[in-house]
């Protein structure tokens, strides 16, 4: 294939990938919200709702390393289509069961777990395939579009899910989900997952290895690559300490500041709005030259914002000022979140060896997701026994110290040797 033809195909991928990701992510968001509302209306039990949430999170954290192994060992295109097809079949099975016997909690839990597991295979495979689908010059644009799709799904999924739950039957709701997943499969079937690849000849030998040996090789590769290991470790720390914000935001806003649920919903929505704005920015701007340094500064900014969450507790602000302050703070947090993730994502797409890319992203997803329930449990307990401002200040300080240590000048020098003696106009190592 000529270079011009590959660029045209990459352009096609850029938009089909974005539309497919939007449909599948939006569909998952709508399904999760709508089915959770159904569980609550069916049982009136918070415990039943929590079990459905666990069925959504736990399979993803457990399966991510295996999804990474599969992405490195088998055809990425077949894997994406099969995993998306599994989501279609899972929802179809729940629909058939509903028509035959009516919905039950056990059937909902099983379907949620299957959809969660299959979506993890799709997500890891797609993430490890971006550099194979898109030319190197437009990877940042693709990452920006990807983040935009996720932000739109985060904003619109609950809205559409709530509307569908209120206006259509659950059977129609499930049929719509099937159609959405099926459209995503059709779009993905048109993609060439080997358009930009250097590892085609390795696929067969990699497949012959045992799964355990292959996954160990991925872990050895990760440990041997200091810069990538720093990124993974820092990402795990971010997910852990920002559990303090995910638990603290509703606790501080609703419990201590007495902000209404309607206004709190607006505050939460500004996070996704900030992510959308920042994603569009990265989709149109030129590629970040020093992504690790750029992301380090964004993480430090996020850490300060985490500490700033406690300010309404020590300042005597009016109700409207509290709502406005938190909305602006969460919008800024959403922006900084993309400022961290997108440059690092582009860097990993280019710097991680294609042979190991799936396993590295699988390990990263698994470790980050594993930190979420641990952080939720720990900080949930802390907020009950320690004043909230001390919890967020302590978390903010710990994250700042972690970032300054993990991304210290010696690591930056290894990542960017040219910054050891910066030319005029280049940033200095910090």
Tell how far CA 288 is from the center of its chain: 20
Is there a contact between 58 and 155 (Cβ–Cβ < 8 Å)? no
What does the alpha-carbon distance between residue 78 and residue 70 come to, in Å, rounded to a whole number?
11
What does the alpha-carbon distance between residue 408 and residue 309 come to, in Å, rounded to a whole number?
26
Per DSSP, which regions of 263-396 are E strands? Answer: none
What does the alpha-carbon distance between residue 352 and residue 218 come to, in Å, rounded to a whole number?
11
Instruction: Kindly report the pTM of this predicted structure.
Output: 0.79
Average pLDDT over residues 138-159: 78
The whole-number pLDDT of residue 202 equals 47
Which residue matches tokens 């947090």? Answer: 333
Is 353's pLDDT higher than 80?
A: yes
Greatest Cα pair distance in the chain: 72
Domain segments of the chain: what residues? 1-193, 209-415
Q: What are the distances in angstroms from CA 288 to CA 142, 284, 351, 410?
A: 14, 12, 14, 21
134 Rama sector, left if φ>0, alpha if ψ -120 to 50, beta otherwise: beta
Q: H-type helices in 168-210, by residue range?
A: 170-188, 203-208
Q: List pLDDT tens digits, range 236-260.
A: 888 888 888 888 888 898 888 999 8
Q: List pLDDT tens digits, range 301-316.
A: 999 999 999 999 998 8
Is there a contact between 382 and 195 (Cβ–Cβ < 8 Å)? no
Upper half-sphere CA count for residue 224 (Cβ side, 13 Å): 9
Give the residue with greater pLDDT, 165 vs 134: 134
Sorting pLDDT into bands at 50, 70 and 90, what band is 204?
very low
Q: 3-state class of 90 per DSSP?
A: helix
Is there a contact between 313 and 389 (Cβ–Cβ < 8 Å)? yes
What does the alpha-carbon distance between residue 13 and residue 404 come to, in Å, rounded to a whole number?
38
Which residue matches tokens 């954290």? Answer: 61
Sorting pLDDT into bands at 50, 70 and 90, what band is 426?
low
The whole-number pLDDT of residue 422 equals 59
Q: List pLDDT tens digits, range 253-303.
A: 888 899 987 788 788 888 888 988 998 898 888 888 889 999 999 999 999
Give the residue with greater pLDDT, 209 vs 351: 351
What does the alpha-carbon distance between residue 211 and residue 208 come to, in Å, rounded to a whole number?
9
Q: Report the share of the chain in percent with pLDDT over 90.
A: 20
The whole-number pLDDT of residue 311 equals 93
Average pLDDT over residues 5-22: 86
The whole-number pLDDT of residue 175 equals 87
The whole-number pLDDT of residue 427 equals 62
Q: Report the share of the chain in percent with pLDDT over 70.
A: 92
Q: What is the mean pLDDT of the chain?
A: 84
Q: List pLDDT tens digits, range 216-230.
A: 888 888 888 888 888
Q: Dihedral of the CA atoms 313, 335, 271, 28 (nearest 10)?
A: -150
Q: List pLDDT tens digits, range 36-92.
A: 778 877 777 767 777 877 787 788 888 888 888 898 888 999 999 999 899 899 999
Fold of 209-415: Growth Hormone; Chain: A; (1.20.1250)
- Same topology between domain 1-193 and domain 209-415: yes
What does the alpha-carbon distance between residue 185 and residue 190 come to, in Å, rounded to a whole number?
9
Sorting pLDDT into bands at 50, 70 and 90, what band is 97?
very high
Is 326's pLDDT higher than 90?
A: yes
Q: What are the distances in angstroms from CA 149 to CA 28, 280, 320?
A: 12, 10, 31
Average pLDDT over residues 183-194: 89
Least confident of 119-123, 194-198, 228-232, 388-392: 194-198
Q: Which residue, among 370, 372, 348, has the nearest Cα to 359 in the 3D structure?
A: 348
Upper half-sphere CA count for residue 295 (Cβ side, 13 Å): 27
Q: List pLDDT tens digits, range 105-116.
A: 899 999 989 988
Give the Cα-Cα-Cα angle 375, 381, 386 (nearest 5 degrees). Answer: 110
Tokens of 273: 């709005």
The whole-number pLDDT of residue 78 equals 92
Average pLDDT over residues 204-214: 64
Sorting pLDDT into bands at 50, 70 and 90, what band is 203?
very low
Kindly report the number of other CB atoms within 10 A of residue 273's CB atom.
18
Upper half-sphere CA count for residue 171 (Cβ side, 13 Å): 7
CATH superfamily of 1-193: MFS general substrate transporter like domains (1.20.1250.20)
Q: What are the distances in angstroms from CA 367 to CA 133, 230, 236?
A: 26, 13, 6
Average pLDDT over residues 380-397: 91
């Amino acid at each position: 294939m000529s270079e011009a033809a590959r660029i045209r195909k990459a352009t096609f991928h850029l938009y089909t990938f974005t539309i497919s990701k939007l449909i599948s992510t939006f569909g998952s968001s709508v399904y999760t919200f709508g089915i959770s509302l159904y569980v609550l209306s069916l049982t009136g039990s918070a415990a039943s709702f929590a079990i459905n949430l666990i069925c959504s999170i736990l399979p993803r954290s457990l399966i991510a390393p295996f999804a990474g192994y599969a992405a490195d060992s088998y055809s990425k295109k077949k894997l994406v289509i099969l995993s998306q097809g599994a989501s279609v079949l899972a929802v179809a099975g729940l629909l058939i069961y509903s028509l035959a016997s009516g919905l039950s909690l056990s059937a909902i839990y099983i379907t949620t777990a299957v959809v969660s597991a299959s979506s993890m295979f799709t997500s890891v495979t797609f993430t490890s395939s971006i550099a194979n689908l898109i030319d190197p010059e437009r990877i940042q644009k693709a990452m920006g579009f990807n983040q935009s799709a996720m932000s739109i799904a985060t904003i619109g999924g609950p809205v559409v899910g709530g509307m569908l739950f209120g206006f259509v039957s659950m059977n129609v709701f499930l049929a719509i989900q099937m159609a959405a997943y099926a459209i995503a499969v059709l779009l993905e079937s048109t993609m060439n997952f080997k358009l930009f690849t250097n590892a085609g000849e390795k696929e067969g030998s990699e497949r012959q290895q045992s799964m355990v040996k292959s996954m160990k090789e991925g872990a050895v590769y990760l440990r041997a690559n200091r810069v990538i290991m720093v990124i993974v470790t820092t990402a795990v720390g971010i997910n852990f300490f920002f559990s303090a914000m995910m638990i603290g935001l509703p606790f501080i806003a609703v419990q201590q500041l007495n902000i209404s649920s309607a206004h709190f919903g607006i505050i939460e929505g500004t996070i996704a709005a900030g992510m959308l704005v920042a994603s569009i920015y990265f989709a149109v701007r030129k590629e970040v030259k020093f992504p690790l340094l750029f992301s380090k500064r964004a993480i430090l900014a996020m850490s300060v914002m985490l500490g700033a969450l406690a300010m309404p507790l020590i300042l005597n602000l009016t109700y409207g000022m509290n709502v406005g302050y938190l909305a602006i703070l969460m919008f800024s947090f959403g922006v900084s979140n993309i400022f961290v993730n997108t440059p690092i994502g582009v860097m990993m797409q280019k710097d991680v060896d294609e042979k190991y890319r799936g396993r590295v992203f699988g390990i990263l997803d698994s470790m980050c997701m594993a930190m979420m329930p641990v952080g939720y449990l720990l900080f949930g307990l802390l907020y009950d026994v320690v004043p909230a401002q001390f919890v967020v200040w302590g978390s903010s300080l710990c994250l700042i110290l972690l970032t300054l240590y993990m991304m210290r000048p010696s690591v930056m020098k290894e990542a960017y040797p040219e910054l050891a003696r910066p030319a005029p106009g280049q940033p200095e190592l910090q």
